[in-house]
């Protein structure tokens, strides 16, 4: 039986995102995602389209200043979830990477 290896090649790296909406599009070969809140306000993340402050799956706390590196981060291995991922909040500032 062949062993399945996880890809380490970056497929999408968003850079700094400052508007609500889809941050990662559907990607059938997704193996892992990393999302970090770079702002000072909570970031509402939805595994699907149209995230809002009342329709989300995860809230990531902000840091004490923009880009200070202490905003909350999630890293998930989503072999089974390949759909779009969206964000919402006030003064959004985040980044996302998928493998």
Over residues 40-96, the pLDDT tens digits come to 999 999 999 999 999 999 999 999 999 999 999 998 876 678 999 999 999 999 999
Q: Please give the Cα distance from 16 to 78 (Å, whole number).
A: 22
Mean pLDDT computed over 19-47: 95
Say if CB 38 and CB 67 are below 8 A apart: yes
The residues near 80 (Cβ < 8 Å, ≥ 6 apart) are none
User: What is this structure's pTM?
Assistant: 0.87
CB atoms within 10 A of CB 36: 20
What per-residue confidence (pLDDT) applies to 78? 62
């Amino acid at each position: 039986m062949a062993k399945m290896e996880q890809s380490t090649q970056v497929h999408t790296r968003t850079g700094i995102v400052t508007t609500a909406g889809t941050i990662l599009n559907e990607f059938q070969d997704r193996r892992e995602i990393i999302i970090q809140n770079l702002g000072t306000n909570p970031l509402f993340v939805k595994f699907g389209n149209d995230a809002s402050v009342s329709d989300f799956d995860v809230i990531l706390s902000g840091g004490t200043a923009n880009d200070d590196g202490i905003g909350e981060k999630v890293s998930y291995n989503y072999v089974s979830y390949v759909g779009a991922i969206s964000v919402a909040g006030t003064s959004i500032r985040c980044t996302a990477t998928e493998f």
